Structure 1
Amino acid sequence: MLQTMIMTIVAIPLVLGMAAALGRSRLPAPAFALLLPLFAAVVSIGIEGMPAFPPVRAAHKFPYVLAAGGFVFALVAWRMRVVAPALAAIGAAIAIGLPAWWMGANILAGNSVKATTVAILAVLAIVGAFVAAARKAETPDGAHLLPQAIFATSLASALVAITGGYMGMAMFNGGLAALAGGYLLVSYVSHIRGNAQALALGGVGAFAFAWVAFMGLVATALLAPKASMAGLIAVGLTLPAAPLAAIVANRLTHFPAALRPLINGLIAAVPALAGILIAGLQFAG
Protein backbone atom coordinates (compact mmCIF):
# COMPACT_ATOMS: atom_id res chain seq x y z
CA MET A 1 0.00 0.00 0.00
CA LEU A 2 2.74 2.45 1.00
CA GLN A 3 4.80 1.59 -2.07
CA THR A 4 1.79 2.16 -4.31
CA MET A 5 1.14 5.56 -2.72
CA ILE A 6 4.78 6.58 -3.14
CA MET A 7 4.67 5.55 -6.80
CA THR A 8 1.39 7.31 -7.63
CA ILE A 9 1.81 10.45 -5.52
CA VAL A 10 5.57 11.05 -5.73
CA ALA A 11 7.56 8.94 -8.18
CA ILE A 12 5.37 9.02 -11.30
CA PRO A 13 4.45 12.73 -11.02
CA LEU A 14 8.11 13.58 -10.36
CA VAL A 15 9.18 11.79 -13.54
CA LEU A 16 6.37 13.45 -15.52
CA GLY A 17 7.47 16.86 -14.28
CA MET A 18 11.06 16.13 -15.27
CA ALA A 19 9.87 15.06 -18.72
CA ALA A 20 7.88 18.29 -19.07
CA ALA A 21 10.95 20.37 -18.19
CA LEU A 22 13.11 18.46 -20.66
CA GLY A 23 10.47 18.90 -23.37
CA ARG A 24 9.84 22.61 -22.79
CA SER A 25 12.55 23.83 -25.16
CA ARG A 26 12.14 20.94 -27.60
CA LEU A 27 8.39 20.77 -28.07
CA PRO A 28 6.28 23.25 -30.06
CA ALA A 29 4.18 25.56 -27.89
CA PRO A 30 0.86 23.73 -28.50
CA ALA A 31 2.37 20.38 -27.49
CA PHE A 32 3.85 21.80 -24.28
CA ALA A 33 0.56 23.49 -23.38
CA LEU A 34 -1.25 20.17 -23.93
CA LEU A 35 1.31 18.14 -22.01
CA LEU A 36 0.97 19.70 -18.57
CA PRO A 37 -2.82 19.30 -18.08
CA LEU A 38 -2.64 15.80 -19.56
CA PHE A 39 0.09 14.88 -17.08
CA ALA A 40 -2.13 16.24 -14.30
CA ALA A 41 -4.99 14.04 -15.57
CA VAL A 42 -2.64 11.05 -15.47
CA VAL A 43 -1.80 11.88 -11.84
CA SER A 44 -5.50 12.09 -10.99
CA ILE A 45 -6.29 8.77 -12.66
CA GLY A 46 -3.32 7.11 -10.96
CA ILE A 47 -4.69 8.16 -7.58
CA GLU A 48 -8.47 7.82 -8.05
CA GLY A 49 -8.54 5.16 -10.78
CA MET A 50 -10.13 5.35 -14.21
CA PRO A 51 -13.18 7.62 -13.97
CA ALA A 52 -16.63 6.44 -14.97
CA PHE A 53 -18.05 7.53 -18.29
CA PRO A 54 -20.29 9.38 -18.37
CA PRO A 55 -18.99 10.83 -15.09
CA VAL A 56 -21.43 11.33 -12.24
CA ARG A 57 -19.46 12.45 -9.19
CA ALA A 58 -17.29 15.56 -9.17
CA ALA A 59 -14.19 13.43 -8.57
CA HIS A 60 -15.00 11.49 -11.76
CA LYS A 61 -15.37 14.71 -13.74
CA PHE A 62 -12.04 16.18 -12.67
CA PRO A 63 -9.74 14.16 -15.00
CA TYR A 64 -12.00 15.01 -17.94
CA VAL A 65 -11.77 18.71 -17.00
CA LEU A 66 -7.96 18.52 -16.95
CA ALA A 67 -7.71 16.67 -20.27
CA ALA A 68 -10.20 18.98 -21.98
CA GLY A 69 -8.32 21.98 -20.63
CA GLY A 70 -5.12 20.65 -22.16
CA PHE A 71 -6.65 20.51 -25.62
CA VAL A 72 -8.11 24.00 -25.23
CA PHE A 73 -4.73 25.43 -24.20
CA ALA A 74 -3.05 23.62 -27.10
CA LEU A 75 -5.56 25.16 -29.52
CA VAL A 76 -4.96 28.63 -28.05
CA ALA A 77 -1.19 28.16 -28.30
CA TRP A 78 -1.58 27.05 -31.92
CA ARG A 79 -3.65 30.11 -32.84
CA MET A 80 -1.97 32.78 -30.66
CA ARG A 81 1.59 33.49 -29.65
CA VAL A 82 0.58 36.42 -27.45
CA VAL A 83 -2.65 36.60 -25.43
CA ALA A 84 -4.17 40.04 -24.87
CA PRO A 85 -4.86 40.91 -21.20
CA ALA A 86 -8.62 41.26 -21.69
CA LEU A 87 -8.79 37.93 -23.50
CA ALA A 88 -6.68 36.30 -20.78
CA ALA A 89 -9.06 37.59 -18.11
CA ILE A 90 -12.13 36.33 -20.00
CA GLY A 91 -10.41 33.01 -20.60
CA ALA A 92 -9.58 32.67 -16.90
CA ALA A 93 -13.21 33.35 -15.96
CA ILE A 94 -14.36 30.58 -18.29
CA ALA A 95 -11.51 28.20 -17.43
CA ILE A 96 -12.31 28.40 -13.71
CA GLY A 97 -16.04 29.08 -13.69
CA LEU A 98 -17.22 26.48 -16.20
CA PRO A 99 -15.39 23.46 -14.68
CA ALA A 100 -16.32 24.54 -11.16
CA TRP A 101 -20.01 24.71 -12.11
CA TRP A 102 -19.93 21.42 -13.99
CA MET A 103 -18.19 19.59 -11.16
CA GLY A 104 -20.03 21.14 -8.25
CA ALA A 105 -23.24 22.93 -9.24
CA ASN A 106 -25.19 21.22 -6.47
CA ILE A 107 -22.47 21.93 -3.93
CA LEU A 108 -22.29 25.60 -4.90
CA ALA A 109 -26.07 25.98 -4.87
CA GLY A 110 -26.39 24.40 -1.43
CA ASN A 111 -23.37 25.82 0.38
CA SER A 112 -22.94 29.58 0.42
CA VAL A 113 -19.50 29.41 2.05
CA LYS A 114 -18.11 27.21 -0.72
CA ALA A 115 -19.81 29.34 -3.37
CA THR A 116 -18.23 32.47 -1.93
CA THR A 117 -14.81 30.82 -1.70
CA VAL A 118 -14.92 29.61 -5.31
CA ALA A 119 -16.14 33.03 -6.48
CA ILE A 120 -13.22 34.77 -4.73
CA LEU A 121 -10.76 32.26 -6.17
CA ALA A 122 -12.20 32.90 -9.64
CA VAL A 123 -11.72 36.65 -9.19
CA LEU A 124 -8.10 36.06 -8.12
CA ALA A 125 -7.55 33.93 -11.22
CA ILE A 126 -9.04 36.60 -13.48
CA VAL A 127 -6.88 39.34 -11.96
CA GLY A 128 -3.80 37.14 -12.09
CA ALA A 129 -4.34 36.24 -15.74
CA PHE A 130 -4.89 39.89 -16.70
CA VAL A 131 -1.73 41.06 -14.90
CA ALA A 132 0.37 38.20 -16.28
CA ALA A 133 -0.75 38.88 -19.86
CA ALA A 134 -0.13 42.61 -19.42
CA ARG A 135 3.47 42.12 -18.34
CA LYS A 136 4.93 42.20 -21.83
CA ALA A 137 8.36 43.28 -20.65
CA GLU A 138 8.70 40.71 -17.90
CA THR A 139 12.13 40.61 -16.32
CA PRO A 140 14.07 37.34 -16.17
CA ASP A 141 13.84 37.20 -12.37
CA GLY A 142 10.08 37.73 -12.53
CA ALA A 143 9.76 34.85 -14.96
CA HIS A 144 11.71 32.66 -12.55
CA LEU A 145 9.04 32.96 -9.89
CA LEU A 146 6.21 31.21 -11.69
CA PRO A 147 7.34 27.55 -11.38
CA GLN A 148 8.07 28.08 -7.69
CA ALA A 149 4.67 29.71 -7.18
CA ILE A 150 2.99 26.74 -8.89
CA PHE A 151 4.86 24.32 -6.62
CA ALA A 152 3.93 26.32 -3.51
CA THR A 153 0.26 26.51 -4.55
CA SER A 154 -0.01 22.75 -5.08
CA LEU A 155 1.83 21.82 -1.89
CA ALA A 156 -0.21 24.25 0.21
CA SER A 157 -3.44 23.01 -1.43
CA ALA A 158 -2.52 19.46 -0.39
CA LEU A 159 -1.99 20.49 3.23
CA VAL A 160 -5.21 22.54 3.33
CA ALA A 161 -7.07 19.54 1.87
CA ILE A 162 -5.72 17.36 4.71
CA THR A 163 -7.03 19.77 7.33
CA GLY A 164 -10.26 19.99 5.31
CA GLY A 165 -10.91 16.27 5.56
CA TYR A 166 -10.50 15.06 1.99
CA MET A 167 -7.49 12.83 1.39
CA GLY A 168 -8.33 12.38 -2.30
CA MET A 169 -7.59 16.03 -3.09
CA ALA A 170 -4.68 16.01 -0.66
CA MET A 171 -3.08 13.20 -2.64
CA PHE A 172 -3.84 14.81 -5.99
CA ASN A 173 -2.41 18.17 -4.98
CA GLY A 174 0.56 16.38 -3.48
CA GLY A 175 1.04 14.68 -6.85
CA LEU A 176 0.86 18.06 -8.57
CA ALA A 177 3.50 19.37 -6.16
CA ALA A 178 5.71 16.41 -7.07
CA LEU A 179 5.12 17.13 -10.77
CA ALA A 180 6.09 20.78 -10.27
CA GLY A 181 9.02 19.61 -8.17
CA GLY A 182 10.29 17.42 -11.00
CA TYR A 183 10.00 20.37 -13.36
CA LEU A 184 11.88 22.58 -10.92
CA LEU A 185 14.59 19.98 -10.34
CA VAL A 186 15.53 19.71 -14.01
CA SER A 187 15.25 23.46 -14.50
CA TYR A 188 17.37 24.19 -11.44
CA VAL A 189 20.14 21.85 -12.59
CA SER A 190 20.11 23.63 -15.95
CA HIS A 191 20.21 26.97 -14.13
CA ILE A 192 23.28 26.16 -12.05
CA ARG A 193 24.98 24.89 -15.21
CA GLY A 194 24.71 28.37 -16.66
CA ASN A 195 21.32 28.59 -18.38
CA ALA A 196 19.98 31.89 -17.05
CA GLN A 197 16.55 31.26 -18.57
CA ALA A 198 16.16 27.68 -17.34
CA LEU A 199 13.46 28.59 -14.82
CA ALA A 200 11.72 31.10 -17.07
CA LEU A 201 8.23 30.03 -18.03
CA GLY A 202 6.03 32.03 -20.37
CA GLY A 203 3.45 31.87 -23.12
CA VAL A 204 0.32 29.75 -23.13
CA GLY A 205 2.23 26.90 -21.50
CA ALA A 206 2.68 29.07 -18.42
CA PHE A 207 -1.07 29.71 -18.26
CA ALA A 208 -1.74 25.97 -18.66
CA PHE A 209 0.64 25.03 -15.84
CA ALA A 210 -0.76 27.70 -13.52
CA TRP A 211 -4.35 26.68 -14.39
CA VAL A 212 -3.66 23.08 -13.40
CA ALA A 213 -2.42 24.16 -9.96
CA PHE A 214 -5.30 26.60 -9.53
CA MET A 215 -7.88 23.97 -10.50
CA GLY A 216 -6.44 21.71 -7.82
CA LEU A 217 -7.14 24.51 -5.35
CA VAL A 218 -10.66 25.12 -6.68
CA ALA A 219 -11.47 21.40 -6.56
CA THR A 220 -10.25 21.34 -2.96
CA ALA A 221 -12.61 24.21 -2.16
CA LEU A 222 -15.47 22.27 -3.74
CA LEU A 223 -14.81 18.78 -2.41
CA ALA A 224 -13.05 19.08 0.96
CA PRO A 225 -15.92 19.21 3.46
CA LYS A 226 -14.15 21.24 6.16
CA ALA A 227 -11.58 23.17 4.14
CA SER A 228 -10.61 26.54 5.58
CA MET A 229 -12.11 29.32 3.44
CA ALA A 230 -9.52 31.85 4.60
CA GLY A 231 -6.71 29.35 4.10
CA LEU A 232 -7.82 28.55 0.56
CA ILE A 233 -8.06 32.23 -0.36
CA ALA A 234 -4.60 32.91 1.06
CA VAL A 235 -3.17 30.04 -0.99
CA GLY A 236 -5.07 31.37 -4.00
CA LEU A 237 -3.11 34.62 -3.73
CA THR A 238 0.20 32.87 -4.46
CA LEU A 239 -0.03 32.84 -8.26
CA PRO A 240 -1.69 36.26 -8.74
CA ALA A 241 0.86 37.79 -6.34
CA ALA A 242 3.85 36.38 -8.25
CA PRO A 243 4.45 39.70 -10.12
CA LEU A 244 4.55 41.53 -6.78
CA ALA A 245 6.91 38.91 -5.39
CA ALA A 246 9.09 39.43 -8.48
CA ILE A 247 9.51 43.12 -7.58
CA VAL A 248 10.91 42.09 -4.20
CA ALA A 249 13.05 39.33 -5.73
CA ASN A 250 14.57 41.71 -8.25
CA ARG A 251 16.05 43.72 -5.37
CA LEU A 252 17.92 40.70 -4.00
CA THR A 253 20.44 40.29 -6.81
CA HIS A 254 23.45 40.21 -4.47
CA PHE A 255 22.89 36.56 -3.62
CA PRO A 256 24.84 33.87 -5.52
CA ALA A 257 23.13 32.69 -8.71
CA ALA A 258 22.70 29.18 -7.30
CA LEU A 259 20.69 30.54 -4.35
CA ARG A 260 18.46 33.01 -6.18
CA PRO A 261 15.85 30.47 -7.40
CA LEU A 262 15.54 29.13 -3.84
CA ILE A 263 15.18 32.61 -2.32
CA ASN A 264 12.75 33.63 -5.06
CA GLY A 265 10.74 30.52 -4.29
CA LEU A 266 10.51 31.42 -0.60
CA ILE A 267 9.33 34.92 -1.50
CA ALA A 268 6.71 33.56 -3.91
CA ALA A 269 5.51 31.06 -1.31
CA VAL A 270 4.63 33.63 1.38
CA PRO A 271 0.84 33.60 0.64
CA ALA A 272 0.86 29.80 0.46
CA LEU A 273 2.66 29.57 3.81
CA ALA A 274 0.10 31.97 5.27
CA GLY A 275 -2.71 29.75 3.94
CA ILE A 276 -1.14 26.66 5.54
CA LEU A 277 -0.82 28.48 8.85
CA ILE A 278 -4.42 29.73 8.76
CA ALA A 279 -5.79 26.29 7.89
CA GLY A 280 -3.67 24.65 10.57
CA LEU A 281 -4.79 27.08 13.26
CA GLN A 282 -8.44 26.65 12.33
CA PHE A 283 -8.04 22.88 12.30
CA ALA A 284 -6.37 22.92 15.72
CA GLY A 285 -9.03 25.24 17.11
Structure 2
Amino acid sequence: MDTYDYVIVGGGMGADAAARGIRERDENGTIVVLSADVDEPYTRPALSKKLWTDPDFTDDQVPLGTADDTGAEIRLRTLVTEIDRARRTVSTDDGGEVGYRRLILVTGSRPHEVDAPDDERVLYFRSAADYRRLRQLARAGARIAVVGGGYIGTEIAAALVQNDVETDLVFRGAVLGADTFPPDLAARYEQLFADAGVHLIANRRADTVRAGDAAVVLVLDDGTELERDAVVLGLGVSPVADLAVAAGLEVDDDGGGVVDERLRTSDAAI
Protein backbone atom coordinates (compact mmCIF):
# COMPACT_ATOMS: atom_id res chain seq x y z
CA MET A 1 0.00 0.00 0.00
CA ASP A 2 1.29 3.45 -0.95
CA THR A 3 1.15 6.09 1.77
CA TYR A 4 1.36 9.85 1.19
CA ASP A 5 1.56 12.88 3.41
CA TYR A 6 -1.41 14.36 1.55
CA VAL A 7 -4.10 12.50 -0.35
CA ILE A 8 -6.44 14.70 -2.39
CA VAL A 9 -9.71 13.10 -3.47
CA GLY A 10 -11.14 14.84 -6.54
CA GLY A 11 -9.46 16.14 -9.66
CA GLY A 12 -10.97 19.55 -10.35
CA MET A 13 -9.79 23.10 -9.77
CA GLY A 14 -10.14 22.55 -6.02
CA ALA A 15 -7.58 19.75 -6.19
CA ASP A 16 -5.16 22.03 -8.04
CA ALA A 17 -5.67 24.79 -5.48
CA ALA A 18 -5.16 22.34 -2.62
CA ALA A 19 -1.90 21.02 -4.08
CA ARG A 20 -0.59 24.55 -4.60
CA GLY A 21 -1.62 25.57 -1.10
CA ILE A 22 0.18 22.58 0.37
CA ARG A 23 3.34 23.46 -1.53
CA GLU A 24 3.32 26.98 -0.12
CA ARG A 25 3.59 25.48 3.38
CA ASP A 26 5.36 22.16 2.78
CA GLU A 27 8.03 21.92 0.10
CA ASN A 28 8.74 18.22 0.53
CA GLY A 29 5.51 16.48 1.58
CA THR A 30 4.30 13.79 -0.80
CA ILE A 31 1.00 14.52 -2.58
CA VAL A 32 -1.27 12.29 -4.63
CA VAL A 33 -4.45 13.36 -6.43
CA LEU A 34 -7.03 10.60 -6.89
CA SER A 35 -9.36 11.67 -9.70
CA ALA A 36 -12.23 9.87 -11.41
CA ASP A 37 -11.82 12.24 -14.38
CA VAL A 38 -10.01 11.32 -17.60
CA ASP A 39 -8.17 14.66 -17.67
CA GLU A 40 -5.72 16.22 -15.24
CA PRO A 41 -7.01 19.34 -13.42
CA TYR A 42 -8.10 22.07 -15.82
CA THR A 43 -9.72 25.49 -15.80
CA ARG A 44 -13.40 24.60 -15.84
CA PRO A 45 -14.89 28.06 -16.66
CA ALA A 46 -13.17 28.00 -20.06
CA LEU A 47 -15.33 25.03 -21.08
CA SER A 48 -18.39 27.24 -21.41
CA LYS A 49 -16.68 30.57 -22.19
CA LYS A 50 -13.30 31.28 -23.78
CA LEU A 51 -12.95 28.02 -25.72
CA TRP A 52 -16.10 28.96 -27.66
CA THR A 53 -15.50 32.67 -28.16
CA ASP A 54 -11.75 33.40 -28.12
CA PRO A 55 -9.83 31.95 -31.08
CA ASP A 56 -6.55 32.72 -29.32
CA PHE A 57 -7.50 30.52 -26.34
CA THR A 58 -6.79 26.93 -27.33
CA ASP A 59 -7.19 23.50 -25.77
CA ASP A 60 -3.56 23.41 -24.65
CA GLN A 61 -4.23 26.36 -22.34
CA VAL A 62 -6.93 24.51 -20.40
CA PRO A 63 -4.76 22.18 -18.22
CA LEU A 64 -3.59 23.82 -14.98
CA GLY A 65 -0.19 22.10 -14.88
CA THR A 66 -0.75 20.75 -11.38
CA ALA A 67 1.77 17.91 -11.55
CA ASP A 68 4.56 20.00 -13.09
CA ASP A 69 4.07 22.93 -10.72
CA THR A 70 3.60 21.02 -7.45
CA GLY A 71 5.20 17.62 -7.96
CA ALA A 72 1.92 15.92 -7.10
CA GLU A 73 1.27 12.45 -8.47
CA ILE A 74 -2.04 12.37 -10.33
CA ARG A 75 -3.96 9.12 -10.76
CA LEU A 76 -6.76 9.46 -13.30
CA ARG A 77 -9.78 7.20 -13.76
CA THR A 78 -9.50 6.39 -10.06
CA LEU A 79 -12.69 6.45 -8.00
CA VAL A 80 -12.37 6.50 -4.22
CA THR A 81 -15.01 4.23 -2.74
CA GLU A 82 -14.36 4.31 1.02
CA ILE A 83 -12.52 6.15 3.80
CA ASP A 84 -11.19 4.19 6.77
CA ARG A 85 -10.61 6.90 9.36
CA ALA A 86 -9.13 4.53 11.97
CA ARG A 87 -6.47 3.21 9.59
CA ARG A 88 -6.15 6.50 7.70
CA THR A 89 -6.61 4.85 4.32
CA VAL A 90 -8.88 5.23 1.32
CA SER A 91 -10.03 2.39 -0.94
CA THR A 92 -10.29 2.72 -4.71
CA ASP A 93 -12.50 1.05 -7.27
CA ASP A 94 -9.61 -1.06 -8.58
CA GLY A 95 -9.29 -2.78 -5.21
CA GLY A 96 -6.31 -0.72 -4.07
CA GLU A 97 -5.68 1.19 -0.86
CA VAL A 98 -3.84 4.47 -0.30
CA GLY A 99 -2.68 5.67 3.10
CA TYR A 100 -2.70 9.30 4.20
CA ARG A 101 -1.40 11.61 6.91
CA ARG A 102 -3.86 14.31 5.82
CA LEU A 103 -6.87 13.72 3.57
CA ILE A 104 -8.35 16.56 1.49
CA LEU A 105 -11.85 16.04 0.08
CA VAL A 106 -12.59 18.16 -2.99
CA THR A 107 -15.18 15.88 -4.54
CA GLY A 108 -17.19 18.72 -6.07
CA SER A 109 -20.78 18.29 -7.16
CA ARG A 110 -22.98 16.15 -9.39
CA PRO A 111 -25.60 17.50 -11.79
CA HIS A 112 -29.32 17.11 -11.22
CA GLU A 113 -30.83 14.77 -13.78
CA VAL A 114 -34.10 14.04 -15.56
CA ASP A 115 -35.40 10.86 -17.16
CA ALA A 116 -33.02 10.65 -20.11
CA PRO A 117 -31.17 7.89 -21.97
CA ASP A 118 -27.43 7.29 -21.81
CA ASP A 119 -26.76 8.78 -25.21
CA GLU A 120 -23.82 10.86 -26.50
CA ARG A 121 -26.31 13.47 -27.73
CA VAL A 122 -27.64 14.09 -24.20
CA LEU A 123 -25.20 15.99 -21.98
CA TYR A 124 -25.11 17.11 -18.37
CA PHE A 125 -22.38 19.64 -19.05
CA ARG A 126 -19.66 19.35 -16.39
CA SER A 127 -16.32 18.13 -17.73
CA ALA A 128 -13.72 18.64 -20.43
CA ALA A 129 -14.95 15.39 -21.96
CA ASP A 130 -18.45 16.94 -22.16
CA TYR A 131 -16.96 19.98 -23.87
CA ARG A 132 -15.21 17.84 -26.48
CA ARG A 133 -18.38 15.88 -27.15
CA LEU A 134 -20.51 19.02 -27.48
CA ARG A 135 -17.96 20.55 -29.85
CA GLN A 136 -18.43 17.59 -32.17
CA LEU A 137 -22.21 17.98 -32.03
CA ALA A 138 -22.21 21.77 -32.40
CA ARG A 139 -21.55 21.95 -36.11
CA ALA A 140 -22.83 25.00 -37.98
CA GLY A 141 -26.54 24.63 -38.63
CA ALA A 142 -27.10 22.03 -35.90
CA ARG A 143 -30.16 22.33 -33.67
CA ILE A 144 -29.46 22.03 -29.96
CA ALA A 145 -31.78 22.58 -27.00
CA VAL A 146 -30.35 23.81 -23.70
CA VAL A 147 -32.34 23.38 -20.49
CA GLY A 148 -31.68 25.64 -17.51
CA GLY A 149 -31.57 29.39 -17.02
CA GLY A 150 -28.64 29.42 -14.58
CA TYR A 151 -24.99 30.06 -15.30
CA ILE A 152 -24.24 26.82 -17.16
CA GLY A 153 -27.38 26.90 -19.29
CA THR A 154 -27.04 30.54 -20.30
CA GLU A 155 -23.31 30.31 -20.95
CA ILE A 156 -23.74 27.23 -23.15
CA ALA A 157 -26.64 28.83 -25.03
CA ALA A 158 -24.54 31.95 -25.65
CA ALA A 159 -21.58 29.86 -26.77
CA LEU A 160 -23.65 27.77 -29.17
CA VAL A 161 -25.48 30.64 -30.83
CA GLN A 162 -22.17 32.44 -31.39
CA ASN A 163 -21.00 29.33 -33.24
CA ASP A 164 -23.89 29.29 -35.72
CA VAL A 165 -25.93 26.66 -33.87
CA GLU A 166 -29.73 26.95 -33.85
CA THR A 167 -30.26 27.21 -30.08
CA ASP A 168 -33.27 26.84 -27.80
CA LEU A 169 -33.03 27.85 -24.14
CA VAL A 170 -35.68 26.36 -21.86
CA PHE A 171 -35.97 27.93 -18.40
CA ARG A 172 -38.42 27.95 -15.52
CA GLY A 173 -39.03 31.65 -14.87
CA ALA A 174 -41.04 34.23 -16.77
CA VAL A 175 -37.94 36.32 -17.54
CA LEU A 176 -34.43 34.96 -18.04
CA GLY A 177 -32.20 36.00 -15.15
CA ALA A 178 -35.09 37.09 -12.91
CA ASP A 179 -33.71 35.03 -10.01
CA THR A 180 -30.32 36.74 -10.31
CA PHE A 181 -30.85 40.33 -11.43
CA PRO A 182 -33.17 43.26 -10.67
CA PRO A 183 -36.18 43.37 -13.05
CA ASP A 184 -34.81 46.02 -15.44
CA LEU A 185 -31.47 44.30 -15.74
CA ALA A 186 -33.07 40.87 -16.18
CA ALA A 187 -35.20 42.23 -19.04
CA ARG A 188 -32.09 43.65 -20.72
CA TYR A 189 -30.22 40.39 -20.11
CA GLU A 190 -33.01 38.37 -21.72
CA GLN A 191 -33.16 40.74 -24.69
CA LEU A 192 -29.46 40.20 -25.39
CA PHE A 193 -30.11 36.48 -25.83
CA ALA A 194 -33.14 37.11 -28.03
CA ASP A 195 -31.21 39.61 -30.16
CA ALA A 196 -28.40 37.08 -30.61
CA GLY A 197 -30.88 34.56 -32.01
CA VAL A 198 -31.50 32.26 -29.05
CA HIS A 199 -35.06 30.87 -29.08
CA LEU A 200 -36.27 31.48 -25.51
CA ILE A 201 -38.84 29.10 -24.02
CA ALA A 202 -39.97 30.54 -20.68
CA ASN A 203 -41.93 28.98 -17.81
CA ARG A 204 -41.13 25.44 -18.87
CA ARG A 205 -39.22 22.50 -17.42
CA ALA A 206 -37.74 19.38 -18.96
CA ASP A 207 -39.81 16.27 -18.31
CA THR A 208 -38.03 13.52 -20.25
CA VAL A 209 -35.65 13.00 -23.14
CA ARG A 210 -36.05 10.27 -25.75
CA ALA A 211 -33.38 9.11 -28.20
CA GLY A 212 -34.16 8.24 -31.80
CA ASP A 213 -31.94 7.25 -34.69
CA ALA A 214 -31.93 10.67 -36.33
CA ALA A 215 -32.48 12.98 -33.33
CA VAL A 216 -33.23 13.25 -29.65
CA VAL A 217 -36.60 14.48 -28.41
CA LEU A 218 -36.88 16.82 -25.45
CA VAL A 219 -40.32 16.57 -23.83
CA LEU A 220 -41.34 19.59 -21.75
CA ASP A 221 -43.67 19.62 -18.78
CA ASP A 222 -46.59 20.85 -20.91
CA GLY A 223 -46.16 17.99 -23.39
CA THR A 224 -44.33 20.04 -26.03
CA GLU A 225 -41.78 17.94 -27.93
CA LEU A 226 -38.61 19.43 -29.40
CA GLU A 227 -36.77 17.22 -31.87
CA ARG A 228 -33.13 18.29 -31.84
CA ASP A 229 -29.64 17.11 -32.73
CA ALA A 230 -28.60 17.28 -29.07
CA VAL A 231 -29.87 18.33 -25.65
CA VAL A 232 -27.72 19.98 -22.97
CA LEU A 233 -29.11 19.87 -19.43
CA GLY A 234 -27.96 22.46 -16.89
CA LEU A 235 -30.33 21.81 -14.00
CA GLY A 236 -28.14 22.66 -11.05
CA VAL A 237 -25.94 20.49 -8.86
CA SER A 238 -25.70 18.87 -5.43
CA PRO A 239 -22.56 18.28 -3.35
CA VAL A 240 -20.92 14.87 -3.71
CA ALA A 241 -20.90 13.88 -0.04
CA ASP A 242 -21.24 10.10 -0.23
CA LEU A 243 -17.73 9.42 1.07
CA ALA A 244 -18.08 11.88 3.93
CA VAL A 245 -21.46 10.52 5.00
CA ALA A 246 -20.30 6.89 4.86
CA ALA A 247 -17.22 7.80 6.90
CA GLY A 248 -19.37 9.39 9.61
CA LEU A 249 -18.20 12.95 9.01
CA GLU A 250 -20.59 15.76 9.88
CA VAL A 251 -22.66 16.92 6.89
CA ASP A 252 -25.31 19.64 6.84
CA ASP A 253 -28.87 19.38 5.56
CA ASP A 254 -27.83 20.50 2.07
CA GLY A 255 -25.21 17.77 1.79
CA GLY A 256 -22.17 19.96 2.34
CA GLY A 257 -19.42 18.96 4.72
CA VAL A 258 -19.38 20.90 8.01
CA VAL A 259 -15.93 22.45 8.58
CA ASP A 260 -14.23 24.97 10.84
CA GLU A 261 -12.47 28.21 9.86
CA ARG A 262 -9.52 26.14 8.57
CA LEU A 263 -11.75 23.83 6.50
CA ARG A 264 -11.19 20.93 8.91
CA THR A 265 -14.00 18.42 9.20
CA SER A 266 -15.08 16.72 12.42
CA ASP A 267 -11.98 14.53 11.87
CA ALA A 268 -8.88 16.72 12.31
CA ALA A 269 -6.96 14.63 9.73
CA ILE A 270 -9.53 15.34 6.99
TM-score for both structures, normalised by structure 1: 0.25
The structure having more radius of gyration, on CA atoms, is 2
Larger strand percent: 2
Larger helix percent: 1
Structure number with higher relative contact order (C-alpha < 8 Å, ≥ 6 residues apart): 1
